[in-house]
Amino acid sequence: MKKTLLTALLAASLFPQLSMADPQPTIAVYAGAFEAFENNGNTATEVGIEYRFAAQPSLLNLIPTIGLAMTTDGNYWAYAGVRYDWQLNPKWTLTPHLAVAAYEEGGGLDLGHDMEFRTGLDLGYQLSQRSRLALGIHHMSNAYIGDHNPGSESIILTYSTGF
């Protein structure tokens, strides 16, 4: 019994603490490079705004989100999805997220379909009790529901604040 309890405590100490996610909604603004890893000179600036609802305790503390984004070459999309905060320590948070996006090709990259899937991972630093700065990488593609699926990666810097 003591050995099992000791093993469980040791195992729990090796994993990041699950978040006590924000009890209030937040708004986030972000900017970065769209097609960040392409060598063809097509990298565009991506900017966006996202509304993050309060974490939903009844849904494993998932954080529902909606957002709008655009690139300097004319692409734009609206999306809805979920996020999950893992509190690494009092200042640092790791946040995986996924969303479904309605995508419109402007003058830039043709992602191959009107519906795209956006996934990502952010590493955030708590600036104050109500604000966070995060660096993230996002991938957007249509998961081969279209004939053409080039996908795109973005490197994003995000500022979020509660209200």
Q: What is the pLDDT of residues 89-123, one digit of tens each?
A: 999 999 999 999 999 998 888 899 999 999 999 99
Q: CA 3 to CA 9: how far, in whole Å? A: 10
pLDDT of 107 reads: 85
Share of the chain above pLDDT 90, in %: 72
pLDDT of 14 reads: 40
- Nearest CA-CA partner of 82 in 68, 103, 61, 102: 61
Full-model pTM: 0.83
Output the CA torsion sign for 92, 130, 122, 143: positive
pLDDT of 52 reads: 97
Choices 2.60.40.10, 2.40.160.20, 2.70.150.10, 3.40.50.1820: CATH for 17-162: 2.40.160.20
Q: Is the pLDDT of residue 143 over 80?
A: yes
Q: Is the pLDDT of residue 11 over 50?
A: no
- Nearest CA-CA partner of 137 in 105, 94, 82: 94
Q: CA 86 to CA 135: how far, in whole Å? A: 15
User: What pLDDT digit, counting tens, does each position of 46-102 carry?
Assistant: 999 999 999 999 899 999 999 999 999 999 999 999 999 999 999 999 999 999 999
pLDDT of 72 reads: 95
pLDDT of 21 reads: 52
DSSP assignments along 18-68, one per residue:
EP---SS-EEEEEEEEETTT-SSS--EEEEEEEEEPPPBGGGTTBEEEEEE
